[in-house]
Structure 1
Amino acid sequence: MNSTPTVDDLRNALVDQIVAKKPLPPRVERALRTVHREVHLPGLDPAVAYSNRAITIKENPEGPLALSCASVPSTVAMMLGQLDAQSGDRILEIGAGTGYNAALLSEIVGEDGEVTTIDIDADVTQHARDALNKAGYQHVRVMERDGLEGAPEYGPYTRMIGTVGFWDIPATLRAQLIDGGRLVLPLRWRGQTRSVVLNRQGEALYCHDMELCGFVPIVGQDGEHTLDLADSTVRLHHDQDQDVDPARLNDALTQSAAETWSDVRVGGEESFDGIWLRATAFEDTVCRLEATRAAVENGLRRPVIIGRSPALVAGGSLAYLISKRDDGDPERPSLLGAAHLGPDGADLAKRLVAHITAWGADRTATPNLAIYPAGTPDSALPAGHVIEKTDSRVVLSFA
């Protein structure tokens, strides 16, 4: 006779599923097997609480993205592994969420450590406080605070983690991290987001690992802008420093796209986000194209992923990633290429295909990434492609 699984059974089964795909540091695995996620998601069926998916805890009445959510457990585990916190660490968490991550951090740092979690939303901090109290983590500090300001009165911190998406890293946060300390956060540039591991050395932050992810953006940063095009059936997400011409792009989108193809193939489950990442290390033109089914029905050549595909955009021209079925290789049946529109579209497509080809030759390569304060002179930067942000100069390069 089958028995109903207990909460402990559900929790351990989820952790087993996570570690089967990628081993975790022992401290992180032990915390995941100890902390009760269902306490932080009251009223939810435990089977759902221990599913490997995000759970919205506060809707956003003004947009499609939630104001706050409980992150996918495998992503939580991945970022805690990146943070590599130790017993006795002083940790600042930006984005309190349900309080679950703060409870995990508290287990990891132990009685000799400290965890401070902050959030700008009073409802979110109250939810986190109540759940932490109920779960026995009354010692975790919860503060209603703008995440971009941090909590300097309880710093400096040996570790910092962001559980909301950042477009830039404020100088105020860098200043609260000890020299030699580690910062892990979802960083967004050129329309894509990576969970980056940044170690502070003096005033610079050097990346030691990056993983693809997606997070609710932090309140208060507006360096990424969105253009509604083609009667709002196409959206272009671009950074504030990029050259885009809405009127000319709308004209271009009334045309039929031409196509340029690479010789690179991908399998059905194979990730090709590395093309996007690679392009950001060489181009100031990389954006995110978001199309709708209505746009495709109206004649737009379908992007490789309809809701989030890399595009190179300059003025009134663009090229974006596309694919087509080609049975020349049954293990990798899809061929990658570029659709292009506008007077300079062919040149942009040629450049995008070059990035596809370079990625195809080394599909696991990631760029070096370093972040310096705004105002750092060029002579003090390493060789590489520089992306200018408000508080930072981001340098990307391939060795």
Structure 2
Amino acid sequence: MPSVVAMMLDQLDPRAGDDILEIGAGTGYNAALLAELVDRGSVTTVDIYSDVALHARTRLNATRYEHVTVIERDGLLGAPENAPYDGIIATVGVWDIPTIWWNQLKDGGRLVLPLRWRGQTRSVALTRNGDQLVSDGMELCGFVPIIGQHGEKTSPLNTDDTIRVHYDQDQDVDPDGLAATVQTGKPALEMPSAQRVGGEEPFDGVWLRATAGDDRVCRLEVTPQALEQELLRRPAIPVRSPAIVEDNFLAYLTITREGTHAERPFRLGAAAYGPQAEELARDLVAHIDAWGSDRLAVPRMTVAPAGCASTAGHVIAKPESRITLTY
């Protein structure tokens, strides 16, 4: 979407004379915009697919951007031949930040990437400060995952594969146990929060808030077929709702229309399944209410290479990086 392109370029904040690396060439359009923004600087774009790289090269040549460098390569390797860079921008979903990218980014340089953790994706803007990357903004987005990273797992919770849970490799999830719990046919335990929202009011910050302190947070996906069959209580956003998973128990975000408030007619809450349903529902409602106390708050993300000491806050460890979130 043009709005997402503009948002991420704004996060990168490229200046005249900057050297920029783009991971994911696409049509070449974003590289052309970058070439305009950096003026006398340079733009290098890489793509793992030969046909995509060729198409980008062809279109850039046709529109007089021959000076943009296009390389057919695995984006996880970057482009060391033109490094170091003032900015690196990824236009594919990234689950872990490769150490190779660190080595190609100048100290003080900017890294903007759609970072994936706990089932969500945020376009995070980070500035390198020695052995740390520190965020100054993050926005909701969605991108196709980069090829070569396998830290995210997906498991069906029913035989028709119409209900799925998405989680990270470090999370203790028992898909078979969850499937047995969901398929009992018992109604969900429902628990409302104190938070109401308007029809156009975003509430994705609930997910973000929850990941800053709870390692049980993941993503629930429910297909239209499962909704038609009423296999479980409808999630707030069926294709991507935050959930808490522990042992064989599941709680997830719901939204219910109530006619008692004109400006905010929808109430957020939790639906939960399993013997500890009430406990998990209370935990999720606590996350919802914490978000409701400051709905526009965004956590600070600090990223360090794996093995480095972390700053104070909630740590999510990945093979090549350690992510710390603090409010």
Query: Is it true that 1:220 corresponds to 2:112 in the alignment?
Result: no
Q: Which amino acid aligns with 1:301?
A: R
Residue 199 of structure 1, CA deviation: 0.4
Whole-Å Cα distance in 2 between the matches of residues 207 and 344 of structure 1? Answer: 36
Q: Residue 12 of structure 2 is aligned with which of 76, 83, 88? A: 83
Other-structure match for 1:102: 31
Quick one: which of 177, 190, 193 aligns to 2:105?
177
User: 1:194 deviation in Å?
Assistant: 0.7
- SS of 1:311's equivalent? strand
Q: Distance in 2 between matches of 1:346 and 1:246?
A: 20
CA offsets, 1:200-243, max 9 Å, x none? Answer: 01111001111111111111011010001112110111000011
Give the deviation of 1:307 after TM superposition: 0.7
DSSP-derived class of the 2:319 partner: coil
Confirm or deny: 8 A CA contact 2:107 2:129 kept in the other structure: yes
Does residue 394 (structure 1) correspond to residue 323 (structure 2)? The answer is yes
Q: Distance in 2 between matches of 1:322 and 1:298?
A: 15
Where does structure 2 lack aligned partners over 5 or more consecutive residues? none
1: CA distance between counterparts of 2:257 and 2:42? Answer: 53
Deviation at 1:324, TM superposition (A): 1.1
| Equivalent pair of 2:24/2:91 in contact (CA under 8 Å) | yes
* Residues 121 and 140 in structure 2, CA contact (< 8 A), matched pair in contact too: yes
User: CA offsets per residue over residues 229-274 of structure 1, 9 Å max, x none?
Assistant: 1121101110000111112101110232111111110111111000
The answer for the alignment partner of 1:344 in structure 2 is 276
Secondary structure of 1:148's aligned partner: helix
For 1:259, the aligned partner's letter is E
Amino acid at match of 2:248: G
Q: Partner residue of 2:208?
A: 277
RMSD over aligned CA atoms reads 0.9
Q: Which of the numbers 27, 41, 44 marks the counterpart of 1:113? A: 41
SS at match of 2:221: strand
**Contact persistence 1:156–1:177 (CA under 8 A):** yes
- 1:321 aligned residue: 253
- The residue number in structure 1 matching 2:226 is 295
Q: Output the amino acid matched with 1:87.
A: A
What are the ranges of 5 or more consecutive residues in structure 1 without an aligned counterpart? 1-71
Note the 1:1-399 alignment, pairs <5 A.
72-110=1-39, 112-231=40-159, 232-254=161-183, 255-296=186-227, 297-376=229-308, 380-398=309-327
Kindly state the Cα deviation for residue 298 of structure 1 after the two structures are TM-superposed: 3.7
Instruction: Work out the number of aligned pairs and report it.
Output: 323
| Greater relative contact order (CA < 8 Å, ≥ 6 in sequence) | 2
Once residues 283 and 323 of structure 1 are traced to their aligned partners in structure 2, the CA distance between those partners, rounded to angstroms, is 21
Structure 2 residue matching 1:196: 3-state secondary structure: strand
SS at match of 1:230: coil
Structure (1 or 2) with the greater strand fraction:
2
Report the alpha carbon displacement of residue 343 of structure 1 after superposing the two structures with TM: 2.3
CA contact (8 A) 1:256 1:299 kept: no
Q: Deviations over 1:97-137 (max 9, x none)?
A: 00000000001111x20000000000100000000000000
Runs of 4+ with >6 A deviation: none
Q: 3-state SS of the aligned residue for 2:32?
A: helix
Deviations, residues 282-302 of structure 1 (Å, cap 9, x unaligned): 100111100012222243100
SS class of match (1:387): strand
Deviation at 1:360, TM superposition (A): 1.2
Distance, in Å, in 2 between the alignment partners of 1:344 and 1:372 is 36
The answer to whether the 8 A contact 2:156-2:179 is kept is: no
